[in-house]
Amino acid sequence: MNELSAKKSLGQHFLRDASAVRRIIELLDIEPGDHVLEIGPGPGALTDMLRSSPCTRLTLLEKDDRFASLHASQARAGLEVIHGDALEYPWEKLPAPCKIVGNLPYNIASPLMWDIVSRAVGYTRAVFMIQKEVADRILSSPGGKTYGALTVWIRSFAVPQKGFVVKPGAFTPPPKVDSAVITLTPLPQNDFPKHPELLATLLKLCFQQRRKQLQAILRAHFPQEKVLTSLEKTEIAPARRPETLTPEEFQKLALTLFMLD
């Protein structure tokens, strides 16, 4: 199937390392009766192994019409092919329970994971291959150089875990950078941020100027009095920089700053 040429615009780098494929599928921990959704099956490196796994339902979501029709031509009971854009997929309607897997197109991996963790209800585990640099950001801790909006957002909805690193030679064509596999396990829904839109707004404000002190960033957008009382109420020192706040601190601060309490 690899004779179909790779489209750069769709982030196509096809996995050709059987051991990496096996390790990704192992991380998904498929059990009989599972429903698995694969994002971007392409020519089918992961798909072939998913087909012979104990999952009873497999959904393939692919934007490239060549690969969507290739898999549709092999459709059978329990296999559904959706020809569409994962960024447009109605993640809140994802049938539960479901496991999600994908060697994600690197150009859309961050916004796609942003959407999935916050909107998909009922997925029990996700395993994604992404750029190593993005994996490092997601896995970083407060105070780290790569700790940012994506880290806080993902950790507000899920627990990320490190899988393994994959070198460019494992793909055709090889990407310019290393890749890494991560696992995301959703937090209980009761622990999700109550007003995610407020958290998203605060994260965008703060991480545009990550080297500035929090009080200076916030004063440009809120009345001084509101800034001071909110920081006092949430017990966050005004001189701290955004990159030092935990996800819980960001969530508390967003609620206090934007609510009229």
> Which residues here bind ligand SAM, judged by CB under 6 A?
10-15, 39-42, 45-46, 61-64, 67, 85-87, 103, 105, 108
- Is the CB of 21 or the CB of 254 nearer to ligand SAM? 21
Q: How far is the CB of 88 from ligand SAM (least distance, A)?
A: 8
Q: How far is the CB of 106 from ligand SAM (least distance, A)?
A: 7
Please give the residue whose beta carbon sits closest to ligand SAM in the complex. 40
Contact 103, 130 (CB under 8 A): no
User: How many residues in total does the chain contain?
Assistant: 261
- Is the CB of 85 or the CB of 232 nearer to ligand SAM? 85
Q: How far is the CB of 41 from ligand SAM (least distance, A)?
A: 5
Q: How far is the CB of 72 from ligand SAM (least distance, A)?
A: 14
Tokens of 68: 């969507």
CA distance 8 to 198: 35
- Is the CB of 87 or the CB of 220 nearer to ligand SAM? 87
Q: Which residues pair with 79 in a beta bridge?
A: 58
CA distance 38 to 149: 26
Q: What order do you get walking across the sheet with 57-62 strand by strand? A: 79-83, 57-62, 35-39, 98-103, 123-131, 179-186, 158-166
Candidates 138, 143, 141; CA nearest to 210 is 143
Q: How far is the CB of 105 from ligand SAM (least distance, A)?
A: 4
- Is the CB of 40 or the CB of 148 nearer to ligand SAM? 40
